[in-house]
Structure formats: structure tokens, C-alpha cells
């Protein structure tokens, strides 16, 4: 286990970040049994069940503000669901038991189980609009970005802030047809692209950390829930995310407006999560840029790799844990998961 900052503080409230990590570990262990089996719903459902079971025992009064899955009718921890024991601190929770369900189903890299928490009432809740246009960077360039500026201008400013040549700047984005022009503009500006199939949260965090990958900027349209989760990580990392809602149809646009949202408003990090006391937790399902995935061991058991970020202290912990085989089998038996 390594820690990026030594502060000598003591976390109150029974170390909530590590308790939430146990929930992402459980989700990752359950989902990893479905890795490469081509069944997104089964893997997602196993992760949801495992995460819900662990969250029930966490000492907190939690409310799911953002439960991933609604847009594609997948299994989910639903919006408004109460989690935790009901005592302890009141917190908003955003969850994605499997960020990258297609990556999981195909056995590809970068699928993670992820969760974020913040003080009650502080999370932006874009339930009526499933997508956002996003721009995210790390601390060196946090003060120079503008989502309304041309991407070429952003690339030049980020390069200057980071002391890099424009040709060395890498911009990550989802590999989608809607990003063809954005990719062209990035390359015309002299920078490079890094396309990813799924896994919006891991890409955002990668853009904010030089130690995770070579990515400097995340840009383009991705999930709204992932934007809020990423904002919680940015608070701990000193990075910045800017976003704007992106309705995909006239009906969705009107529904969003009727719900009281301004679809043209630029949302900064503080608008996505107002609290300065946030937690971000992720456990790898498959190996990836942010954390390694679940590794099953020949002599029994499994090894997990997680990251826990806490904004109030600026602490980022990378944690490797070993799980005994009999515990895994007992957990799997109740979920009718395939064997390892």
C-alpha cells in the first residue's frame, strides 16, 4: 500500500473512505467472474448486488443521488435509495458498480467499480439528461481551460502550463462517431488523441494525474453521472472538470428544461459537487491505467487493487488486498455466478 501524501491526520466517522472501498472491492470481485463472457447485464447485476450488500453495513446515512444504469435499463442502485446503517454522517452517494460494462463483457482493459461520496445535498443531480460535454485536466492546467474555447486554444494553454510541446499533448475521448470533428481539430492543432471504448471516469482521472498515464486532457461528450463522480476525484487531485449538459433529442432537451435545468450553463467542478469534503473510490475489475484488475491466484483467493481519494486532506491511497478463496466462493454461491 502506498500513499501520495503523509498528513498525520485521523479520519473521523469510522474511516468512511475505506468502508466504501470494501463495497467497490465486493463489486469488482463479483463482476470479474463475468469478465470476457460477453454478458454485460449479468456482470453488472452481480456487481450491483455485491455493492448493495456491503453498503448496507457501512456506518452512514447515505442516499444514492446518482445510480448508474437508468439510461439503458441496466441493473442499478436506484436514485433516492437509502444505503448504510442510517446513523453516522449524512452523505450523497454516486455509484457505478461497473464503469465500462462493455469492457467487462469483452474482457478488455479499464473496467472499474467506482463510487463517490460528498456531504448531503452537495451533488449535482442531472437525472433528466444522460450526457454531458466535458473537459478535464490536472492541477497544472486547472486555471487555463475554458470549455467554450476552441480545442486548439485549450491545447496551447495546457501545453504552456505543463511545460510541454503541443506535439506532446494527448487528448482522451470516447471513440464515437460524434467526436470525428473534435479528433480532427485536435490533430490539426498538432496534438495527439487517445481513444477509449468506454470507461469515462478512469479517463477523467487519468487526465488529472501525470503518474497514471500520458493523457493531458479529457474532452468530448460522455455520461452525466460519470461527470459528477469525476468531479469528486478532481477535488482530491486538485484538477478541474468543466461540463455542459448535452441532450440527445428535442424531447430530452425539453424534459431537462422542464425539470429546471439550464442546458446551456457551463458547470465547473464546484457546480458538479459543491462540497470540499469528497471521497472517490475505485477498484479495478480488469487491468487498466488507473488500477489493476482482479487477479485470481493459483493457490486460492484473489487480489484486488483500489484507489481511495479524500479531498479534505488531499490524500490518495493505492491499496492492494488479498481475499481468501472460501470467502469468494461463499459470496458467489448466493449470486449464481460462474466459477473461476
Question: Is 334 known as a binding-site position?
Answer: no
| Mean pLDDT over each residue of the chain, to the nearest integer | 89
Give the chain's domains with CATH numbers: 15-120+278-335 (3.30.540.10), 131-272 (3.40.190.90)
- Residue 333's pLDDT is 43
pLDDT digits (tens, 9 = 90+) for 208-220: 987 777 899 999 9
Question: Is 88 known as a binding-site position?
Answer: no
Q: CB–CB of 99/202 below 8 Å?
A: yes
* pTM for the predicted model, two decimal places: 0.89
Question: Is 262 known as a binding-site position?
Answer: no
Q: What is the CA radius of gyration of the chain?
A: 19
Question: Is 223 known as a binding-site position?
Answer: yes
CA atoms within 13 A on the CB side of 267: 24
Question: Is 102 known as a binding-site position?
Answer: no
pLDDT digits (tens, 9 = 90+) for 85-143: 999 899 999 999 999 999 999 999 999 999 999 999 999 998 889 999 999 999 999 99
Question: Is 96 known as a binding-site position?
Answer: yes
Question: Is 210 known as a binding-site position?
Answer: no
Question: Is 68 known as a binding-site position?
Answer: yes
CA distance 314 to 237: 7
Instruction: Tell me how far CA of residue 1 lies from CA of 42, 98, 258, 318, 319, in angstroms.
Output: 31, 23, 48, 6, 5
Q: CB–CB of 206/172 below 8 Å?
A: yes
Question: Is 178 known as a binding-site position?
Answer: yes
Which residues, 6+ apart, have CB-to-CB distance to 281 below 8 Å?
A: 17, 20, 21, 23, 24, 114, 115, 116, 117, 306, 307, 308, 309
Question: Is 86 known as a binding-site position?
Answer: no
Question: Is 226 known as a binding-site position?
Answer: yes
Q: 113 is written with which cell numbers? A: 467499480
Amino acid at each position: 500500500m502506498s500513499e501520495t501524501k503523509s498528513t498525520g491526520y485521523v479520519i473521523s466517522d469510522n474511516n468512511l473512505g475505506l468502508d466504501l472501498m470494501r463495497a467497490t472491492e465486493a463489486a469488482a470481485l463479483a463482476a470479474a467472474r463475468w469478465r470476457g463472457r460477453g454478458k454485460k447485464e449479468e456482470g453488472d447485476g452481480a456487481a450491483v448486488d455485491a455493492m448493495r450488500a456491503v453498503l448496507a453495513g457501512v456506518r452512514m446515512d447515505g442516499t444514492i443521488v446518482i445510480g448508474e444504469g437508468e439510461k439503458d435499463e441496466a441493473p442499478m442502485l436506484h436514485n433516492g435509495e437509502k444505503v448504510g446503517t442510517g446513523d453516522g454522517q449524512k452523505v450523497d452517494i454516486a455509484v457505478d458498480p461497473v464503469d465500462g460494462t462493455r469492457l467487462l463483457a469483452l474482457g478488455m482493459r479499464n473496467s472499474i467499480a467506482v463510487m463517490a461520496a460528498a456531504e448531503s445535498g452537495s451533488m449535482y443531480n442531472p437525472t433528466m439528461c444522460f450526457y454531458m460535454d466535458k473537459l478535464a485536466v490536472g492541477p497544472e492546467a486547472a486555471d487555463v481551460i475554458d470549455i467554450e474555447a476552441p480545442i486548439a486554444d485549450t491545447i496551447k494553454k495546457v501545453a504552456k502550463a505543463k511545460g510541454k510541446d503541443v506535439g506532446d499533448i494527448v487528448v482522451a475521448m470516447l471513440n464515437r462517431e460524434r467526436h470525428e470533428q473534435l479528433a480532427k481539430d485536435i490533430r490539426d492543432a498538432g496534438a495527439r488523441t487517445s481513444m477509449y471504448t468506454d470507461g469515462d471516469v478512469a479517463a477523467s482521472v487519468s487526465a488529472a494525474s501525470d503518474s497514471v498515464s500520458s493523457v493531458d486532457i479529457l474532452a468530448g461528450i460522455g455520461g452525466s453521472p460519470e461527470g459528477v463522480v469525476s468531479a469528486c476525484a478532481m477535488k482530491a487531485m486538485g484538477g478541474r472538470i468543466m461540463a455542459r449538459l448535452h441532450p440527445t433529442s428535442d424531447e430530452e432537451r425539453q424534459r431537462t428544461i422542464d425539470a429546471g435545468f439550464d442546458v446551456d450553463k457551463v458547470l465547473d467542478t464546484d457546480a458538479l459537487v459543491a462540497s470540499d469534503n469528497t471521497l472517490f473510490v475505485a477498484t479495478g475489475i480488469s487491468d487498466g491505467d488507473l488500477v489493476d484488475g482482479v487477479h485470481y491466484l493459483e493457490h486460492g483467493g484473489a487480489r484486488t487493487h483500489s484507489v481511495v481519494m479524500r479531498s479534505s486532506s488531499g490524500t490518495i491511497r493505492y491499496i492492494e488486498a488479498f481475499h481468501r478463496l472460501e470467502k469468494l466462493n461463499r459470496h458467489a454461491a448466493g449470486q449464481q455466478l460462474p466459477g473461476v
